[in-house]
Copies of this chain bind each other. A is one copy, B any other.
């Protein structure tokens, strides 16, 4: 993915039943930092009252020992988020959102995207509701508060049944932790156990960091309620709903050490690399990944092809977000801040450069140029997924269609634009073969194919709330 940034909607964690619940959630968020670096928040409950704290920044910068100690109680939920910058930015969008409603207090963290949220919102505004953020989560809270059902579990089901799209949500009342996943299961959500506590998180790497054990995924269309009487599972959606696991979580977004949709994420990436070679066996001297996201795709490619795997680009991990401006005299500044070629590895070599995907193509173009300047004889670009041509309405924040290079150009045009010696994408067929025979029918490939498994009501413009 090099540095064409995809902004996903967050990572979520919840813990029930630990006297260090907020600390465990903190650690979970820390492990999920890759899912959102702009803001972080934690809400906790001691059974009676909900406490919370949230702010702009990385998890490690937002929280300290003092704040964690003020987040009392045996239940806690947390959230990492991307957001736009600027000092006047809407603070209300940072999650958890904590509200009062007729039953008391309710906190929510949400990963996903709900395409009909804006439509519901406009309807509710017409009825006299007010909205303080531009997040889908607030819409969900309104739906719950409006429900005529009598228990919070029923109210939540009542609400989420009205939602389209992707949502992996964790709710917290004063005394319950409730996790819900949308009927198609676009975004991951897993259940774990740490001694007598339960933990729910976007990815299993959040379990590993606290030593918790992965039990199973929260199922698509399932609600799991955890309280003093234990764990209860409720299936709220129709049985035969076609699932739509986001295949992009496996390709790029999730951490390689996570189990996603029941798959070892990292293992899938190796297979993508192998398949990529099989589809177009090439003769070259070395295979180089764009670090770190394409590392194991490249490893798979190398192992299958026998072409030696090499680390030819060094990544600088100290990159901050608000950064000093480049100067016009400094060419390729932004790419060089992040990547430096290792000359002796590249010099005189026919290089296969592996990336997981291409969005705009601007960064990979510069990387290819840098490799050539470092002495590469040939640069063959291989992409571990098919061309991204279509927007995602379910939580992957691709740029608009117009900015997607594969939407605008054919592959040979892209090859020419990027100035590489050759360019191959993994075929959609190839991708499907990789992601497990038996599960092929469970994934969403819409950004590649344009085939959405859900009709999205886009009558209202997505950015309407931001004006």
Contacts and interface: CB of A to CB of B under 8 A. Distances in A.
A208 B336 contact: yes
B128 A264 contact: no
A61 to B, nearest CB: 7
A172 to B, nearest CB: 15
A257 B314 CA distance: 7
Nearest to A104: B467
A88 interface: yes
Interface in A60-114: 60-61, 63-68, 70-71, 86-88, 91-92, 97-102, 105-106
Contacts of A48: 467
A263 B195 CA distance: 52
A178 interface: no
A450 interface: no
Contacts of A142: 128, 130
Given A52-B88, A71-B88, A311 B296 contact: yes
Interface string A316-329: 11111011110101
A237 interface: no
A96 to B, nearest CB: 11
Contacts of A264: 342-344
A324 B63 contact: yes
Interface stretch (A3-11, A240-248, A302-310): A302-310
Nearest to A310: B299
Interface of A: 20, 23, 26-27, 30-31, 33, 48-49, 51-54, 58-61, 63-68, 70-71, 86-88, 91-92, 97-102, 105-106, 122, 125-132, 134, 141-142, 145-147, 195, 205, 208-211, 255-257, 264, 266-267, 295-296, 299, 303, 308-311, 314, 316-320, 322-325, 327, 329-332, 336-337, 340-345, 465, 467
